[in-house]
Structure 1
Amino acid sequence: MTRSIEYGQLMHKAMRGLIQQVLEDVARDGLPGEHHFFITFDTRHPDAELADWLRERYPEEMTIVIQHWFDNLEVSDAGFAVTLNFGNTPEPLWIPFDAVRTFVDPSVEFGLRFESHLPDEDEEDDDDEESADTAAAENDTAPRGEAEVVSLDTWRK
């Protein structure tokens, strides 16, 4: 039996750890300066928790903005909870780190993209960044920045 080092899995774990650390810092100290986040996640993930109307509106993925108004940001090893305002309706969300597809901070042109290689998502993943629905919290309608998104699959064989 041949064993190999799963670099892709190790990098995804490290990148999710980076997101966890950033969100823990924000939960404790607030957002510094002009920092803000666009976080796209898979609404089909079995552990993702969101209102039924949001799941119906975003049946595959959703992009949230953490910027001007957010509340109750709590971070654990498994994911994070946050309350965002959708049309003057505060809605709590639970987003597992395994459900995160992209994490972008346009204020510093930083971004991460998690590639998924499920059989039914082969070519569609290439267009995820462009076709992602954006559910922005009220007052968080800033356009997406031109952040560079890092894809580890570029270096995979």
Structure 2
Amino acid sequence: MTRTIDYGSLMHTAMRGLVRQLLRDVQQNGLPGDHHFFITFSSMHPEVQIADWLSDRYPDEMTVVMQHWYDNLLVEEDGFYVTLNFGDSPEPLYIPFEAIRTFVDPSVEFGLRFEQPQDDDDEDVLAEMLEIDDDESDNDGPREAEIVSLDKFRK
């Protein structure tokens, strides 16, 4: 049998390492400037830890925004913990890096997409997420976490 190099798997490992490194820097130094992250993850992943009401509301995938208000960011080798505010209710989350589907920083038009077997329109979704205009970027006060349903980006 001929051995082949699995470039896709190697690339995803490297991309997850980049996300890990970014989040570790944010854990130590905070978010610089206008940087903020849209992180879409599979809420069905067996290691994801979110409140029952969130998994009931988002049974397949969920997008969270890390921008003005987040707390208790702790980055580990296989995933990260963060507390986000949902309607004045702080909720702790654990997101394994393997569960991440997209990672976007619209402030610098940077995005990563982790291919899933069923994904077909995610390139269009990623492109549209990069074009999101953050009209509240001059607001320095705390904001609630935002949940963005990718359905609104689908055509």
What TM-score do the two structures reach when normalised by structure 2?
0.80
The percentage of counterpart residues that share the same residue type is: 64
| Correspondence 1:90-109 to 2 at 5 A | 90-109=90-109
Deviation at 1:138, TM superposition (A): 4.0
Correspondence for 1:126 among 109, 120, 140: 120
Q: Which runs of 5+ in 2 are unaligned?
A: 130-141, 149-155
Report the AA paired with residue 120 of structure 2.
D
Matched, 1:23 2:23: yes
* Residues in 2 aligned to 1:138 and 1:93: alpha-carbon distance in whole angstroms: 17
State the one-letter code of the partner of 2:101: R
Q: How many residues align?
A: 131
Please give the secondary structure, in 1, of the residue aligned with 2:23. Answer: helix
Hey, which bits of structure 1, 4+ residues long, moved more than 6 A? Answer: none
- For 1:126, what is the secondary structure of its paired residue? coil
Aligned to 1:149: none
- Show the counterpart of 2:8: 8
Q: CA deviation at 1:116?
A: 1.0
1:84 Cα offset (Å): 0.1
Partner of 2:86: 86
Q: Deviations over 1:2-54 (max 9, x none)?
A: 11011000000000000000000000000000000000000000000000000
**How far did residue 140 of structure 1 move?**
5.0
Equivalent-residue separation in structure 1 for 2:59 and 2:144 (angstroms)? 24
- The TM-score, its normalising length taken from structure 1, stands at 0.79
